[in-house]
Amino acid sequence: MARVIVVTSGKGGVGKTTTTSNLGMSLARLGHNTLLLDADTGLRNLDLLLGLENRVFFTGSDVLNKKCKLEQAIIEDKRQPKLSFFPLCSIHGSNPSIIGEEVEELISMVSNKYDFILIDSPAGIDASFQNAIRMANEAIIVVTPEVSSIRDADRVIGILITHGIKNNKLLINRIRPKMIRNDEMMSMKDIQNILGLPIIGAIPESEQIIIASNRGEPIVLEKKLSAVGMAFENTARRLEGQEVAFLDLGNIEAKNLVRRVLCKFLVKKPKEIK
């Protein structure tokens, strides 16, 4: 049976879909059969981040309405055959909603075929959030080091626990070490102390994420992994149960700064340390 993990947050726009696509691709690259389920029925964009938008013809809703077979709605990634994508319902059409029992039925149909099912959920206050968490036995709560994100995450953790999901971990996204050093941003330790949950991943702020998203290529597909790609891959390894130390993001940032200054004197375009 698959480990069913919901990727969620309190606040919107903190990086749930980015996390789902990169973690999913990493888990598949590590050899696990992985299914990514898009349960954010309002802002469905996991297909875009995976570059699979042109291959979505059917959805989970169509499977339940007997418009197609299950295999027709699940899309296998051509770059990584251990990764598949399953949109729950269409963003087009008059009634894109899907109810909790239906989500439950769909996940039951697929759970014995995969090692991991990652559910990209809407933020914790949206109506369809309850559907997304229904079949999950674990949760990754994505937070950014901002007070609003942390306060909202706290509420969501309370809801998850009320629904019996007790295996919860934090993924801190968009970390800027320089701001932490200057006391302008909360540190990982501060966030962990406030929310009282273990940290499974620490991802730096990176322009490369935006470029990768626009290309529809998860950043962990790069030939030579950047710091952010490595941070996602390390998160996948921790999910597997490996003990992996957190990257020294401050050190990577400092080395990039030195390189930029040197290149300015040499009038060369700086190359970021990967």
| Sign of torsion over alpha carbons 142, 148, 154, 156 | negative
Of 127, 124, 104, give the one whose Cα is nearest residue 37.
104
Of 194, 201, 272, 265, give the one whose Cα is nearest residue 237.
201
What does DSSP assign to residue 128? T
21 is an interface residue for Mg ion by CB under 5 A: no
Among 106, 203, 227, 249, binds ligand ADP (CB under 6 A): 203
Instruction: State the number of binding residues for ligand ADP (CB under 6 A).
Output: 16
Of 134, 110, 108, give the one whose Cα is nearest residue 121.
134
- Which C-beta is closer to Mg ion: that of 17 or that of 59? 17
- Which C-beta is closer to ligand ADP: that of 62 or that of 120? 120
140 is an interface residue for ligand ADP by CB under 6 A: no
234 is an interface residue for ligand ADP by CB under 6 A: no
- Which C-beta is closer to Mg ion: that of 11 or that of 16? 16
Give yes or no for a contact between 175 and 201, defined as CB atoms under 8 angstroms apart: no
How near is the Cβ of 18 to ligand ADP at its closest, in Å? Answer: 3
Binds 235: which of ligand ADP, Mg ion, none (CB < 5-8 Å by kind): none
Extract the tokens encoding 151: 């306060």
The helix/strand/coil state of 239 is helix
8 is an interface residue for Mg ion by CB under 5 A: no
Question: In the complex, which residues of this chain contact ligand ADP (CB under 6 A)?
Answer: 9, 12-18, 173-174, 203, 205-206, 209-210, 213
